[in-house]
Amino acid sequence: MAHEVQTPFGFRLPEQPGIHEVWFQLYQAGRLIQVAALKIEVQAAPDIPAAGELDETSRTPGTEGEDATDA
């Protein structure tokens, strides 16, 4: 049975909405071992209204008068 090693890593998503390609290249001892290309779709985040702009229908029930620091 082969010994499997996993190494997590991260990357930042592009800020521009649309479809983007991310290429991962795995090198070992200076030699290219494997290449993987991924397509990532980035969508713009919806605008979140400021606390003062919320109307009564958009408030979370049971949170009247509560402050975020009270949690």
What are the tens digits of pLDDT across the range 38-60? 999 988 878 777 666 655 555 55
Query: CB-side exposure of 24: number of CA atoms within 13 Å?
Result: 10
What is the tens place of the pLDDT at every residue in 2-36? 788 888 888 887 888 999 999 999 999 999 999 99
Residue 32's nearest CA partner among 41, 44, 23 is: 23
Q: Rounded CA gap, 7 and 9, in Å? A: 7
Neighbours of 64 (CB within 10 A): 8
**The predicted structure's pLDDT at residue 32:** 96
Q: Check the CA dihedral 44-45-51-57 and report its sign.
A: positive
**The predicted structure's pLDDT at residue 71:** 45
